[in-house]
Amino acid sequence: MIHLKQPAGDTSVADVEALLPPTTLEQDVQCAEASFARQDVAVVEDTAVAMADPILAQAAAIARLPGLNEGMFSRLMEWQKEERAAQAKERWTEAMNKAQAEIIPVARTVQNTQTKSLYAKLEAVDAAIRPIYLAHGFSVSYNTVPPLMPGNIRVECAVSLGRHTELYYREAAPDTTGPQGKAVKTMLHGGASSETFMKRYALCGAFNVVFRNLDDDGVKGGKEYVTDEELAVLERLVEETETSLPEFFNLMTSEEIHELNEVSRLDFNRFANALVRKKNQQMAKRSAAS
């Protein structure tokens, strides 16, 4: 409220206006315009944030609530982080499903001169699936990480889409010996060979790539190989027991088998049971040691 001094004698309108602060009306108009401008900016900013990131918009709205303490704000930010991670994983899974639907079995085109068997090189697998996974937004990278068993080589394959990454691992000893157990490679060449081998199968495991032979599309002389589900079981057991595949195949069969997907369906139970027994024995030894 403005208190005016009462002028002496007769008072005209001009006399009253002269007593008012000269910029009061102008200041009121300016303050009102500034207030509306701030509201407009806030609305524009909130709209832009909501369009760019709905989760961040919700967090910002909640953060403006009166009485929000530091603990509540920290939990709010944690919720925002969890929700973003869940959405990123959901987008990753949806894209992976679409990519796998387009990937067809890769043909084995290269012959192993020592074992006379066919296999697919890493280059062939990469050429077959890279255009597909790139089209769906995936990126793939490799790294070597500390092995579970000393002396082995452990390869990490990272498959990323946006903010979500899934990691796949394969581990084996350096491939320095031939089918008869004799040294055929140096440690350097054997290590490089094993690393390439594990990159191929880590990548195939990530995108569920299967192989087929050129001649009979995976059925050799009427022989049926393990299904994708059975193959996954064997791969998991081999990884959990840290089993050397060449030694395992030499022990289990007289046939020339170099990869788990070459195991006959008739032999699946026998191979799986052997690995389960090995796993149980390892667990019993660990329990006794502890």
More confident residue, 105 or 233: 233
Whole-number average pLDDT of the chain: 75
- The pLDDT of residue 289 is 83
Q: What is the pLDDT of residues 170-184, one digit of tens each?
A: 998 887 665 555 665
* Highest mean predicted confidence (pLDDT) among 31-45, 153-167, 200-214: 153-167
Q: What is the pLDDT of residues 50-72, one digit of tens each?
A: 455 666 676 677 667 776 677 77
- Minimal CA–CA distance to 108: which of 215, 24, 202, 190? 215
- The pLDDT of residue 12 is 52
pLDDT band for position 15 (50/70/90)? low
- The pLDDT of residue 64 is 73
pLDDT band for position 110 (50/70/90)? low
Averaged over 134-141, what is the pLDDT? 96
Percent of the chain scoring above 70 in pLDDT: 65
Among 121-125, 177-181, 186-190, 273-277, the minimum mean pLDDT is found in 177-181
- The pLDDT of residue 71 is 77
User: Does position 218 have pLDDT exceeding 50, yes or no?
Assistant: no
Averaged over 2-22, what is the pLDDT? 48
User: Does position 41 have pLDDT exceeding 90, yes or no?
Assistant: no
User: Does position 119 have pLDDT exceeding 80, yes or no?
Assistant: no
User: Does position 100 have pLDDT exceeding 60, yes or no?
Assistant: yes
* Contact between 55 and 80 (Cβ < 8 Å): yes
- The pLDDT of residue 118 is 56
Averaged over 223-243, what is the pLDDT? 87
pLDDT band for position 8 (50/70/90)? low
Percent of the chain scoring above 90 in pLDDT: 27
pLDDT band for position 207 (50/70/90)? very high
pLDDT band for position 136 (50/70/90)? very high
